[in-house]
Amino acid sequence: MSRLVPCPLRRLTTGCELLVLSLSAAQLPNQHVRQDPATGNLRVSFRLDDVDRSILVPLPNHVAPKVAVSFDRRENTYSYKYTITNATTAEQPITEWHLIANAAVHIYSIGQPDTWGHDEVQLTSTDPDSATYVGTPGLNVRWAPKTGLLTDASSGSILAGLSQGPFSIACDGRPGFVTSTFRSFVDRREDDPVFQLPPDAEHEALAYVNNFEKSGVTRMVLGPAFGRTLSPAEVAAGLAKQLQQMVEAGQLPPSSEFLMEVIAVLKRQAERKGRVVETLRHRPGTPTEGEIATVLREDLNIRY
């Protein structure tokens, strides 16, 4: 498997530079960080000289990713292809994105546009303070431009209104919905607000900034979500959980009749042994619901 040519750190005003931590955020009970709803940046609150203070730290999450996915299967090999668009509303270019495949999946090959590279695939970390710790663990596939000025489209950076693709994964992972995260690049110069913090608050802020999931924009997308050995009941249970996550994230409307019927069917399938053929009464009404219907047909032979 090819190794990633890592995206080098550059002197820019957009994106995220990885910084070394020497103190665990769990050791900082007197400080706290949260994303500021008005700006999308990191609000760091702390106490200094007996005065409560807070400042904003720029984040690389001012991107607006849209993902188009297709897949096909030849015998036991699934090929997933992704085209990434950064909407015109984005304030930063997309200069890095991650896809978290199921840990049981065997990845055969990874592809990308000529100007991009990919990392050697590794499991996400189990350490909550790690840069690669995520809510749903798995295999971390990371892509980034190889070289060039990241604010220039010639580097491959996905500026507002532009697209890049296809990015691809060939593997034995059956389709479902997996986590993907997108972010830009912030150059941390000496006058960056994060370096104006007291040491303890600085360490906690950097723990947040360095984590790609916390400091990026996350979407659940169609991808290699299930290993080959899972039973139909296990796949149904897993898919029901993924759809619920998408509802909670606002990617799916909870009032959709199609979605409500799908979840009810999946719950029935999760309680049964063996594959049971079912037919849906409602048809998908959105592109995402169309992807759900494709997954149901492929994994569980559920049709409409």
Domain boundary among 209, 228, 247: 228
Q: Is the pLDDT of residue 72 over 50?
A: yes
Q: How large a percentage of the chain has pLDDT more than 90?
A: 62
Tell me the mean pLDDT in the region 137-161. Answer: 90
Q: CB-based contacts of 188: which residues, under 8 Å, 6+ apart? A: 17, 19, 194, 195
Are both 240 and 215 inside the same structural domain?
A: no
Indicate whether 276 and 220 sit together in one domain: no
Residue 198 Cα distances to 45, 48, 203, 205, 273, angstroms: 11, 8, 9, 10, 58
Give the model confidence (pLDDT) of 4-42 as tens digits: 333 333 323 233 333 333 323 333 343 578 889 999 999
Reported as type and span, the H/E element at residue 110 is strand 107-111
Q: Given this model, what pLDDT does residue 153 score?
A: 85
* Residue 193 and residue 241 in one domain: no
Give the Cα separation of 122 and 110 in Å (integer): 13
Supply the pTM of this predicted model.
0.84
Q: Does 136 or 7 have the greater pLDDT score?
A: 136
- Please count the other Cβ atoms lying within 10 Å of the Cβ belonging to residue 207: 23
Report whether 159 contacts 153 (CB < 8 A).
yes
Domain co-membership, 52 together with 119: yes
pLDDT of residue 7: 36
Degrees to nearest 5, angle at CA 17 with 190 and 45? 65
Q: Provide CB contacts within 8 A for 261, sequence distance 6+.
A: 280, 281, 282
Same domain? 195 vs 131: yes
Contact criterion met (CB below 8 Å) for 223 and 175: yes
Please report which confidence band the pLDDT of residue 215 belongs to, taking 50, 70 and 90 as the band edges. very high
Residue-wise pLDDT for 159-189, tens only, equals: 999 999 999 999 999 999 999 999 998 887 7
Four-residue CA torsion sign, 202, 203, 208, 209: positive
Domain count, the chain: 2
Q: Mark whether 30 and 116 lie in a shared domain.
A: yes
3 and 145 co-located in one domain: yes
- pLDDT above 70 covers a percentage of the chain that reads 88
Going by pLDDT thresholds of 50, 70 and 90, the confidence category of residue 275 is low
- pLDDT computed for residue 4 by the predictor: 32
Cα separation, 163 vs 193, in Å, equals: 32
C-alpha distance from residue 8 to each of 124, 198, 210 (Å): 21, 28, 15
Amino acid in position 286: T
Look up the domain containing 271 and give its range.
230-303
Asked if residue 207 and residue 92 are part of one domain, the reply reads: yes
- 205: tokens are 């802020």
Give the other-Cβ count within 10 Å of 133's Cβ.
17
Q: How far apart are CA 253 and CA 260, in angstroms?
A: 10
Determine the pLDDT at residue 276. 64
Q: Is the pLDDT of residue 151 over 90?
A: no
Comparing 125 with 275, which gets the higher pLDDT? Answer: 125
pLDDT at 19: 38
Last residue of a domain, one of 172, 202, 228: 228
| Mean pLDDT score across all residues of the chain | 85
Neighbours of 150 (CB within 10 A): 26
Indicate whether 219 pLDDT > 90: yes
Tell me how far CA of residue 124 lies from CA of 111, 115, 129, 139, in angstroms: 20, 25, 12, 6
Report the C-alpha gap between 74 and 211 in whole angstroms.
36
Give me the mean pLDDT over the 253-264 stretch.
Answer: 93
Q: Copy the structure tokens of residue 276.
A: 């049971």
What's the rounded Cα separation, in Å, for the pair 39 and 18? 22
Quick one: 181 and 268 in the same domain? no
What would the two tokens of residue 255 be? 């009032």
Among 177, 197, 228, identify where a domain stops: 228
One domain for residues 267 and 195: no
| Span 102-116, pLDDT tens digits | 999 999 999 999 999
CB distance 272 to 297 below 8 Å: no
Please, are residues 223 and 80 in contact by the beta-carbon 8 Å criterion? yes
Using CA atoms, how far apart are residues 143 and 182, in angstroms rounded to an integer?
Answer: 10
* pLDDT tens figures, 75-94: 889 999 999 999 999 999 99
Question: Is there a single domain that holds both residue 152 and residue 43?
Answer: yes
Running DSSP on this structure, what letter comes out for residue 158? B
**Shared domain check, 293 and 163:** no
